[in-house]
A = this chain, B = another copy of it.
C-alpha cells in the first residue's frame, strides 16, 4: 500500500504508539507525526522509531490529514473542542478512548462535529507508555465506531479504511450510550475485579515471597489487569460511573450469593452457578 497520508498522534503510549507502528508497517500512513507536548514520552517515542517527527500542535495541524487522540479520557473531553476549532474542512480527528458519552456531550453542538469520528479499538495490554507499543496489537481484533451518523460520510469512510486496511481490524457499530454500557459490563468490570484481587491478596498475604512462589498461571492471568495504569483507569471509572455501579453491584451480589451458598453448605447449588459460568467459554469460542 502506498499513501501520502500524514497522521498526527497525540499520546504516543501503548495505544497511540501501536497505531503508529501498524499504520506505517501497512503503508497506510506515509508519515506519523508525534504532537510535542514537552513530555519525555514523546522523546522516547522518537527514539523507539514509533514516530517520524515531533511537532507542536499548531505546526502539526498545518500538515496532517488525520489526527489521532490517544490520551487519557479526561484530557479528550477538554481538548477535542479546542482542537476542532483549528481544523480546516478536510481534516479528520478521531479518539480511541474507552468511554464515549462525555465526549458525545462535549461535541454535540460543535460546528465541525462531522469531522470527528468516535472509535474504540478493543485491544491493549496491562502495560503503558511508548515502550509498551507493539506492532500487530490490533490485527484481527475488533474496533467499535460510535455514532457513525453524526460524522460526515467521507470521514467515516476514511476511518473505516484506516482500521480495516491500515490495522487489519474488524468493525462493529454502536451508539455512544450503548458502547459505554457494554464496555462497563465487559471490559471495565474486569479491571475492577483484577485491581481488587491484587489489593486483597496484598492485604491478606503479608509474605511477598509466598505470593511469588505460589502464583500459578491462573492467578497471574486473573490479576494481570491490576498492573494497568491507575491514571488511565481512574478516569474511565469516573466517566462511566453509572454503568459501572450497575455491574459492580451485580458482581458484589454474585459473590455474596456464593458466600451464602458456601456457609449454608449448599454446594450443589454453587456447582450449578459454576456450571453456568462455564458457558463463557462457549461464547468466547475458546
Interchain CB contact (< 8 A) of A224 among B198, B211, B221, B252: B221
Least CB distance from A188 to B in Å reads: 10
The segment from A46-54, A60-68, A234-242 found at the interface with B is: A234-242
Interface size, A (range): 35 or more
In chain A, positions 206-249 with a C-beta closer than 8 Å to chain B are: 207-208, 210-228, 230-231, 233-234, 237-238, 241, 244-249
Q: Are B214 and A279 touching (Cβ within 8 A)?
A: no
Q: Is the interface of A mostly helix, strand, loop or mixed?
A: helix
Q: Are A230 and B275 touching (Cβ within 8 A)?
A: yes
Contacting residues, chain B, for A286 (C-beta < 8 A): 220
- Flag A239-278 by CB within 8 Å of B: 1 or 0 each: 0010011111111101110110011010100110111111
Q: A199-B276, A259-B245 are in contact. Are A187 and B214 (CB under 8 A)?
A: yes
A182 within 8 A of B: yes
How far, in angstroms, from A104 to B99 measured CA to CA in the complex?
A: 52
Apart from A186-B205, A195-B274, A202-B279, list 18 A-B contacts with CB within 8 A: A122-B215, A126-B281, A185-B204, A186-B210, A186-B211, A186-B215, A193-B193, A195-B258, A196-B258, A200-B250, A202-B280, A212-B285, A227-B281, A228-B274, A230-B274, A231-B271, A233-B274, A234-B270
